[in-house]
Structure 1
Amino acid sequence: MHSNMKKYISGLLVVAALASVACNPDRLNEPQKGVIDMDNFYKTPEDAESAVITAYKASKKCYDLGSGFDVSWCIAPPLFVLENAPSDDIYYASGNKDDHVFGLEINEYRDSYTSNNTVVGNLYYAFYQMIYACNLVTDHFQYGDNEVINRAVAEASCLRAYAHFKLYCLWGDAPLVDHVLVGSDKPANTPRAELLDWVINEFDTASKYLPSKSDLNDSKLAIRFTKEAALAFKGKAEVFKGDYTAAKKSLGAVIESGKYELVPGAEMHDLFHMAGDGNKEKIFEFNYVNNPGNDPNFSDALEHFQFNQSCFWRDIKLPTNTIQQVGWGGINPTKEFGDALIANDGINSFRRKAWILTYDDLIYNMSYDNDNVMNTNEKKNADATRGIT
C-alpha cells in the first residue's frame, strides 16, 4: 500500500510539473527569428521601397510558371504562350500531339481547351498573386510628402494596373482587386469597360509621382516604371478603349520627352537579347540577371530556362554561339508568314534577318567549330555536323 501510494504521489508530481510547463504563456509567445513582424513593418520609406521590390519580383512570375506558388508544373512561360500561341502565323511545336498539350490546345483551338489548361490557370493565379503583392504596398502607404514613398506607391499602382490590363485583354470581365482581401471577400467580375477606366486612371495618377529617365541611354530606369512608362501603358489602354484623342496625348508625351528612340535597323536583332537590355527603345522591361549558378527550378533563372526550352530548335546541329542546345521548337513562323514578310520587306531586310533564319543562313552564315576546315559552301553543305539531324 505504501509503495502504491508513492507511485500515485510521484505520478501526480509529474503531471503537476508538466501542467506548470504547459501553462506557461511565455513559452507560447516566442518571437520568430529572422523575420520582421508585420505590425512593425510598412512604417518607413525604406519599408515602402522593400515592399515594392517584392511586388516587382512577384510580377515576373507571369513570365515563368508562377514558381513559388501552389500551381501546376508547366514548362512554358504562361503569359508569353497565351499571348502568342493563338496566332495563325506560328506553330507551337512539341515532341508529339500529346506532348505540351497546354500550348497545342491554345495554338490549334482544340475542343479540349478549358480553364484546366496549365498555362491559363497558372497565369490567372500569378496575376492575382502579383496584385496581392502590390496591394500590400498601396494598403499601407499613400501618396503624400515623402518622395520615396510616393514613388513606391506609384510603381506598385502601375504594376497592379498592368496586371488588371492584361486580365482585361485576356479574360474580359475580371475581378478588380484594389486592396488586400480577407477570407470572407469574394470579389465578382467587374464589367470590362469599368475595369479599363480604372486601369487608365491608375496609370494617370501614378505618372505624376514617377521620375523620368535621365537621357536616351539611361538603362537603369528601363527596369522600373517611369513617368513615360506609365503614360505609354495609359495610352495603350486608351487605344483599347477607342479614345484616340486621349491616346494621342498620352503617347505623344512619351515621344516628346526625348528619352526614347527606335534603335537602328542593324541593332534590331538585339532587342530581345541581353545585348539590347535597357536600350533606348525599351520603355519598360522586367529585370532578369543571368546567373549560371542559380538552380533553374527555384530561381529567376527559371524564366530564362523556359523561354529557351519553349522556343529553341530541336533535333538540329546548332551553331556554337547559340545559348541553348535543346528545346521544343515552339513559336516558329509558318512558311506563309515567312513568304509574306520576304515579299513585303525583301530577303535582306533588317527585320527578316533579325527574326527569321533561312536554311542558307543556318548552314553557311553562322559560326561552327569546324569553320576553319569547312571553309567553302560546298563543304558546309555536305557537313553532317550542322543543320537538321
Structure 2
Amino acid sequence: MKSMKFIYIAILVVFISSCQDEFIETEPQATILEDNYYQSEEQMFRGLIAAYDPLQWTFADGAWSSSVMLGEIRSDNANAGGDPSDGDQPGWQAIDDFLNTSLTLESQAFWKKGWWGVYRANLIINNDKLSSEVIDEYKAEAKFLRAFYHFDMFRTFGPVPIIDHVILENEYSEIERANLTELFEFISNDLEEAIPLLQEAKYTGSLAGRVSRTTAQALLGKVYLYWADLANDDPNLFDQAATHLNNVITSGQYQLVDDYHQLFAFGVKNSEESVFEIQHTNAVPSDWGGAEFIDGNMMTQLCGIRGLCSDHPEYEAGWGFLLPTESLNSHFLDDDAYRRTASIISATELSTDGCNVDLAEQNSADFDGYFQIKYANYKDYTAPNGGDPVLQKDPNQPVIRYADVLLMYAEALERGSGSSGEAMEHIDMVRERAAGPGDNSGNFRDTQQLMAEEGLTLLEAIWYERRAEFAIEGDRWFDLVRSGRVDNNLFSAQKASNLDQSRIYLPIPQRDIDNTGGSLTEYPSAELFN
C-alpha cells in the first residue's frame, strides 16, 4: 500500500492543553519541545486533550469553521443566509452556491483544524517512550481521533493524503492524495486496532466526551457504510457495517431520548442517546483576541434568528446563517409535525408568539421563511467566568446519535444480506419516538404502512427518515454524495447551473498545493475512486 506521509505544518512545538475540572475545559498554556515533554502519563493525557481540542474549533485561520454548515448549505436542506448584503461571510455564500475556490477561507479553516487534529494525534500514537495499559488506552483514543479526522476530511475534500507520522519540510513534495481503498483501509485499521483497547463503558460526568469502545464501533460502522456505497454498493462491506453497528446496539449502553424535542433543549448534553458528541463549555473565558481557542460553540450566534425582537421569551437574535429551505420544510409529512417543530420554525410561527421578525434584515436570496432551532440562541446562555458572552454559548454538537446507529444498521441490513423485517423494526424505533411523547398511536405509522401509503421502497423510507431525523445536523449533503443522489433538480436554477462533478468535493487550499509543488491536487481525480 502506498502510504503517503503528511502534516499540515512541520513544527517542533505543540500547544499542550491543561486538564482542569472537566475534560473539555482546555486552555493552551505552554509551548514545549515535543521530545522533552511526553515523559509521563499525565503529560500524555494532556497531549491527548490537545488532540481532541480541534474538534471544538468553530473558528480557524481567520474564518468560521463548521462541519454542520458544510454538511447542510451545500444540500437541499439549507442556504447560507446572513445579512442582506453580498459581503456577509462571502466564503459561506460561495460554498452554498458551488462557487468556492482553493482560496475560500471557510474551507481552508476546516482543512487546517483537521490536520492539526491529526498532527496532535500522531504525537501520541508514535510516542514509544512510555508503556502501560493507560498509555495503550490513550493511544487507542488518539487512533480513533486520527481516523475521525481523516474520515471527516474525506467527506469534505474527497480522498486525502494518509497521515501516519509528523513529516518535515523536505518531504512535502511526496504528499499526494491516497485512493479510496487505501484511505478507507487506513481509517478502518486505526479503528479496528483501537476498539479492544478502549474503555468498554461510555464515559460520563466530568469525562463525558472521551471516546469508548462503542464510539469507535459506531464510527467504524459508518465508515463501512460510506465505503460500501462508494465501492459500487458492495454487499460484503454493507454486511461489515451491520456487524459493527449491531455491536453498539447489543451493548445495551444507549437508548433513544423519549422526547425528540429534548435532544436540543437548553442545557441538554451527553444524553443516553449520545454516542459521540463534541463538547463545548462556557467555563473558560474567551474574547475575540483568541477566537481560535474558544471553547464555546459559535453555531448558536452564527445561526440564531436574525431580526428577532428583543422581548422574545426564549431566544435572542443571532446572525441569521444556516437558513432552512422550503424543500426541507415540505419534506416532513403531516404526521411528522412534532419532529419538524423541534428542527425549524417559521417567521409566521414566531410572530404568533407575539414577537415579530424583521424580514428586511434577512438575506432575501436565501430566506424561504424559516429558521433553524436545533442550535437555538437561548437567552439563558451565560458567561459565568467573564469573557465575551457571544463566545461563551456552549451547546454540544452531536456527531453520532443512537438514532443514527439504528438507521445506519437498517440501511446496512437492507443493502447487504440482512433481513428487511429486522431493518423495519429498527426504523420503527426511530419513527415511533418522532411522533411525540405519550399516547402517540394516532400519529405513528410504522414503516410498512408508510411505504404502502406513500409509495416508498424500504431504502427510500430509510432516506426519508434520515433527512427528517437529522435535519440541520450536518449529514444531509454527505448522505446525498455517498448514495449518488446529488442532482441539479434539488436546487434553484442558479445554484444548479454551478454544480458539476468537479464541485462535489471542496478544493484543497491553494497554499498547500503550492507547498507541495503541485503533487497535492486541488480536486480528486476519478481514478482515485476506483
Structures share a fold, TM > 0.5?
A: yes
Query: Bigger shift: 293-302 or 170-179?
Result: 293-302
How many residues end up aligned between the 2 structures? 319
Using the TM superposition, give the Cα deviation of residue 285 of structure 1 relative to its aligned residue in structure 2, in angstroms: 1.3
8 A contact 1:134–1:159 mirrored in 2: yes
1:47 corresponding residue in structure 2 = 43
| 1:191 pairs with one of 170, 179, 193 | 179
Instruction: Give the Cα separation in 2 of the matches to 1:101 and 1:321.
Output: 32
Which residue does the alignment assign to 2:290?
Answer: 298
1:359 deviation in Å? 4.3
Secondary structure of 1:54's aligned partner: helix
**What is the aligned counterpart of 1:104 among 68, 93, 114?**
93
Partner of 2:328: 337
Is the counterpart of residue 125 in structure 1 residue 150 in structure 2?
Answer: no
Q: Is the 8 A contact 1:135 1:178 kept in 2?
A: yes
TM-score (norm 1): 0.75
Kept in 1: contact 2:76–2:328 (CA 8 A): no
1:170 equivalent in alignment to 2:156: yes
Give the aligned partner of residue 249 of structure 1.
243
Q: Deviations over 1:312-354 (max 9, x none)?
A: 1112215544454331x2212112321231x34344x2x1221
Secondary structure, counterpart of 1:181 in structure 2: coil
Conservation of the 8 A alpha-carbon contact between 1:318 and 1:387: no
Out of 147, 172, 189, the position equivalent to 1:201 is 189
Question: Does residue 1:60 correspond to 2:59, yes or no?
Answer: no
Residue identity matched to 2:157: W
Which amino acid is 2:91 matched to?
F
Partners of 1:269 and 1:161 in 2: CA distance: 31
2:358 equivalent in structure 1: 388
Letter aligned with residue 310 of structure 1: L
After TM superposition, give the deviation of residue 103 of structure 1 in Å. Answer: 1.1
- Correspondence for 2:209: 223
Query: 2:80 matched to 1:88?
Result: no
| Rounded Cα–Cα distance in structure 2 between residues aligned with 1:39 and 1:302 | 28
Question: What amino acid sits opposite 2:250 in the alignment?
Answer: E
Q: Please say if 1:276 is aligned against 2:268.
A: yes
Task: Kindly state the Cα deviation for residue 305 of structure 1 after the two structures are TM-superposed.
Answer: 5.7
Q: 1:386 Cα shift?
A: 3.7
**What do residues 4-50 of structure 1 show as CA deviations (whole Å, max 9, x unaligned)?**
xxxxxxxxxxxxxxxxxxxxxxxxxxxxxx76554432222222212
Q: Secondary structure at the residue paired with 2:71?
A: helix
What SS does the aligned partner of 2:290 have? coil
Given that 2:309 and 2:357 are in contact with CA atoms closer than 8 Å, whether structure 1 keeps it comes out as yes
Deviations 1:208-243 (A, max 9, x none): 11112359xx45554011000001000100111111
1:357 Cα deviation from its structure 2 partner = 1.8
Gaps of 5+ in 2: 1-29, 229-236, 360-530
Q: Aligned equivalents of 2:210 and 2:123: distance in 1?
A: 18
Could you say if the C-alpha distance between residues 285 and 214 of structure 1 is closer, same or farther in structure 2, counting changes exceeding 3 Å? closer
One-letter amino acid matched to 2:144: C
Matched, 1:78 2:66: yes
Residues 82, 119 of structure 1: 8 Å contact kept: no
Q: Which residue number in structure 1 is paired with residue 133 of structure 2?
A: 147
Higher radius of gyration, 1 or 2: 1
Is the aligned partner of 1:354 residue 2:346?
Answer: no
Partner of 1:28: none
Shift of 1:158: 0.6
1:54–1:274 distance in 2 versus 1, CA, 3 Å: farther
User: Which has more strand, going by share of residues?
Assistant: 2
Give 2:457's aligned residue: none
Give the CA deviation at 1:176: 0.7
| Farther off after superposition, 185-194 or 314-323 | 314-323
> For structure 1, which runs of at least 5 residues remain unmatched after alignment?
1-33, 366-379
* Contact kept in structure 2, 1:219 and 1:277, CA below 8 Å: no
For 2:133, the aligned partner's letter is E
Question: Once the two structures are superposed, what CA deviation does each residue of 1:236-269 show, in whole Å capped at 9, x if it has no partner?
Answer: 00111111111111000001111111111x2x23
The verdict on how the C-alpha distance between 1:326 and 1:361 changes in structure 2, with shifts beyond 3 A counting, is same
Rounded Cα–Cα distance in structure 2 between residues aligned with 1:324 and 1:304: 17
Quote the RMSD (CA, aligned, Å).
2.5
CA distance in 2, matches of 1:285, 1:50: 20
Q: Indicate the SS of the match to 2:81.
A: coil
Question: What is the CA–CA distance in structure 1 between the aligned matches of 2:253 and 2:195, rounded to whole Å?
Answer: 15
Corresponding position of 2:318: 326
Counterpart of 1:283, as a letter, is V
Given that 1:345 and 1:352 are in contact with CA atoms closer than 8 Å, whether structure 2 keeps it comes out as no
Contact 1:176 1:195 (8 Å CA) reproduced: yes
1:285 to 240, 252, 277: 277
Checking the alignment, whether the CA contact within 8 Å between 1:141 and 1:153 is kept in structure 2 is no
Quote how far apart the aligned CAs of 1:364 are. 3.6
Q: Cα offset for 1:303?
A: 6.3
Q: Give aligned-pair identity as a percent.
A: 24
Letter of the aligned partner of 1:82 in structure 2?
A: L
Contact 2:200/2:214, CA 8 A, preserved across alignment = yes
Task: Tell me how far 1:60 sits from its aligned partner.
Answer: 2.5
| CA distance, structure 1, for counterparts of residue 221 and residue 129 of structure 2 | 24
- In 1, the alpha carbon distance for the partners of 2:303 and 2:116 equals 26
Indicate conservation of the 8 Å contact 1:222/1:283, yes or no. no
